[in-house]
Structures are given as structure tokens and as C-alpha cells.
Amino acid sequence: MSADITLLESDVETSLRSTVREMLADRCDPNAVLSAYEGDRALTASLWKTVAVELGLAGLVIPDERGGAGASVREAAVVLEELGRAVAPVPFLSSAVEAAIVLREGNSALVEQVASGERTAALLAPFSTAPDADLPRMSVDGNERLSGRVTSVAGALESDTLLVAADTVEGTAVYALRTSDVAVASFVSLDMTRPLADITVDSVPGEVVVPPNSGEAAFRRALRAGAALLASEQVGVTAWCLESTIAHLKERKQFGRTVGGFQALKHRLADLFVEAESASAAARYAAGALAADSDDAAIATAVASSYCAEVAVHAAEEAVQLHGGTGMTWEHPAHLYLKRAKADEIGRGSPGHHRRVLADLVDIPAS
């Protein structure tokens, strides 16, 4: 662990967190989020416009000379933590983090359009693709037309641009495709606040946005940032579950006593608090290591990805159970968090996959 990476927030990060939290409290009502499961995606469009354009967060990690805010992934992690706390249905992770990191490695003018919120982009890769996994690749012909199929892509339904890896004679390049030119097949996802889609590309013209000499490295860098910062989103999910459960147990009474006064429940919440604080530290360190381009970044990402995912699921399960009968009803927001936590658990690699990666990195053979 590097001593140069602080887990404490800067004044800028605290201010950013406050701004995003206030905006989400005002514009991201849980009942409106729940409507996504009924097919109503109106909240996504309006909320994304606020996040991307009005708050200017679409270009948060893009250099200011290219139209962005020039911030690092530490600030993006703060935003994702707040978005996770509200299970906000916006494509910040797919567009403002992953796609932005790929695009800033090339010279395409598309990066300015994504930074301004004029365009929204996503990586053409399954949501489960880990940073070290085989990349889904399109075939490309001599006329720069691409073909192929990728399943379970996150962010595709909200994006007008897809970034895809394709092998050329000079190496792996990243191409940009218009979403309107490909076949997008949506389906019912476990987490409808981040719906997935299958994408079929049939001889579609593409624009090279990252050249072959750096395309694969850019794609993998984006996937690693996606994995590391997904941990921050999971920390936000955990925080809401813990805080809302404590608030409920302080109010709920049974047999003339406040439910939160029972010793067994206190122990369960205390254990969850320790897990939440540990997850927060792991996620912040991973974001900090990435921002500092530390040699520790790969290990930090593996630790955060493997730990935070399971903590978020545990917190959501505890929230559903400890809210009692109301927590079991479909309308209760705890279910939004449980589904987000379960879907995130396999996002950018499962906990088991990241533990195997970690075992190799620290030279401890996995059992």
C-alpha cells in the first residue's frame, strides 16, 4: 500500500459529493426509479441531461484542453458513490468513465462531444468483461466496415455511439460506431436501472478513434477503471442500505420495544458497519491508485472489486430482511438496491475472478 495515496477527501471532492447528493435528492425519487421496471425510462433521459450537461460531469475525466473538466478518477469515484447511493439510472460509468478513458487516448473529435454531453458512448463489451479477460472483437474489412455480435452490453440503450475493438494488420484499433447503424436487442435485465442489450453489427462503417498501436491498452485501461470505480458505486449502495436500515430499526417497535434495541440486531448492524467502512477504504484506495498511476493499481483494483461487491450484496440482503414485512414488498426501494448489488457483483469481473487475479499478483497460488 502506497503512503502517498490518501483516503481522505479533498475540499473539492467534498464539495462535488454535496452537489451531486443534493441534485439526486431533488431529482431522483425512488418511485421514479422503480418505474424503470415498468418500462418507463423517462427519468434516465432527464437525469442524464442534468448530470452530463448541467453539472458538466460527462467530461469529468477528460482533460480541460479537450473540453472536459480535467479531473481524475478520484472525483469520478465520488460521483459514482453518490449515484450508487441513489441507484440512479444514468450511464455515467459507461460513458463518462469507460468510454471517456478510451477516447482520450486518441485524437478523435468525438472526445469533445462526449465531454460536452452532446454524445453519449459505451464500450461494446459484455458488462461482465473483466480488465484482463479476452476482449470481444469485431471483424473489419478493407472498407473499414465492421461486423460481429456482442451480448449483455451495459449503456448501449442510452448511447448514440459504441466503441469497439477490432484487429487490423497493425494491431488492435478502437472504432466508433453509430448505435443507429447496429441492431440493438434489449431484454429484461435483473437490474433495469442499468439495462443490458445484445448488439449485432453487420457491415457497419466505423471511425478509428484510437490507433492500432494503443487501442488494446486503451480498452483495457478503461475496463480496469470501470472495475475499480464500480467498487465505489457498490460503496454507495452499501451506505444507503445501512443507513436506511438503522433509521427503520430506530423507529420500528414490537412488543413495546424499539426493534433496534435488540442486542442481536445491534451486532448485525455493527458487523455491517465494519464491512461498509472497510469497503469504502478499499474503493477509495483503488481510485486513488489509478489516479496516481501507481504500481499498486492492479492489486488495489482486484482487492476493491472482490471485496466491495460482496459487501454490497450482504448490505442489500440485510436491508430487505431487517425492514421486515415492508422490505418484502415490491414497492420498497430496498429491492432496487438488492438488484443493483447483485447485477454489479458480476460487472467487470466477479469477486472470484478478481481473487484469482489477486492471488497471481501477490504470488499466492489460489486454492
pLDDT tens digits for range 208-250: 999 998 999 999 999 999 999 999 999 999 999 999 999 999 9
My answer on whether 274 and 226 are in the same domain is yes
Per-residue model confidence as pLDDT tens digits over 177-198? 999 999 999 999 999 999 999 9
What pTM, to 2 d.p., does this model score? 0.95
- Tell me which of 166, 193, 211 is where a domain ends: 211
Per the rule left: phi > 0, alpha: psi between -120 and 50, beta: everything else, 262 is: beta
Domain check: are 333 and 248 in the same one? yes
Same structural domain, 194 and 288: no
Instruction: With cut-offs at 50, 70 and 90, classify the pLDDT of residue 367.
Output: low
What is the pLDDT, as a whole number, of residue 328? 78
- Please tell me the predicted confidence (pLDDT) of residue 3: 65
Q: Which residues contact 81 (CB under 8 A, 6 or more apart)?
A: 17, 232, 233, 235, 236, 239, 283
Query: Where residue 157 sits, what CATH number does that domain have?
Result: 2.40.110.10
Q: Confirm if 119 and 110 have CB atoms less than 8 A apart.
A: yes
**What per-residue confidence (pLDDT) applies to 30?**
85
205 domain residue, yes or no: yes
d(CA 243, CA 181) in angstroms, rounded, equals 45
Does 343 lie in the same domain as 225?
A: yes
Does residue 125 belong to any structural domain of this protein? no
Mind giving me the DSSP string for 73-96? HHHHHHHHHHHHHTT----IIIII
Cell numbers representing residue 364 in the block: 499466492
Condensed to tens digits (0 to 9), the pLDDT of residues 248-303 reads 999 988 888 888 888 999 999 999 999 999 999 999 999 999 999 999 999 999 99
**What total number of domains does the chain contain?**
3
User: pLDDT tens-digit profile of 33-49?
Assistant: 988 888 888 899 999 99
Q: Could you give the CA distance from residue 236 to residue 129 in angstroms, rounded to a whole number?
A: 22
Query: Which pLDDT score is estimated for 103?
Result: 97
Amino acid at 357: V
**Domain end point (choices 74, 90, 119):** 119
What mean pLDDT is predicted for residues 61-88? Answer: 97
348: CATH: 1.20.140.10
Find, among 358, 364, 216, 347, the residue nearest to 299 by Cα.
358
Judge whether 56 lies within some domain: yes
**Domain check: are 230 and 352 in the same one?**
yes
SS3 assignment, position 32: helix
For 87-103, what is the mean pLDDT?
Answer: 98
In this model, does residue 324 exceed pLDDT 90?
Answer: no
pLDDT value at residue 81: 98
- Residues 115 and 145 occupy one common structural domain: no
Given a cut of 90, is residue 138 above it in pLDDT?
Answer: yes
Average pLDDT of the chain is 94
Exposure on the CB side of residue 16, measured as CA atoms within 13 A: 23
Q: Which long-range contacts (CB under 8 A, 24 or more apart) does 27-33 make?
A: 28/86, 28/88, 30/87, 30/333, 30/336, 33/86, 33/87, 33/88, 33/89, 33/193, 33/333, 33/336
pLDDT at 236: 98
**Among candidate residues 176, 211, 246, the one where a domain is terminated:** 211
Confidence at residue 36, expressed as pLDDT on a 0 to 100 scale: 85
Residue 6 belongs to some domain of the structure: no
One domain for residues 263 and 230: yes
**Residue 260: its pLDDT value, please?**
83
| pLDDT reported for residue 325 | 77
pLDDT band at 1 (very low <50, low <70, confident <90, very high): low
Once rounded to an integer, what is the mean pLDDT over residues 338-366?
93
Task: Identify whether 229 is part of a domain.
Answer: yes
- Domain of 76 in residue numbering reads as 11-119
pLDDT above 90 (res 206): yes
Residue 58's CATH number: 1.10.540.10
Q: Are residues 221 and 199 in the same domain?
A: no
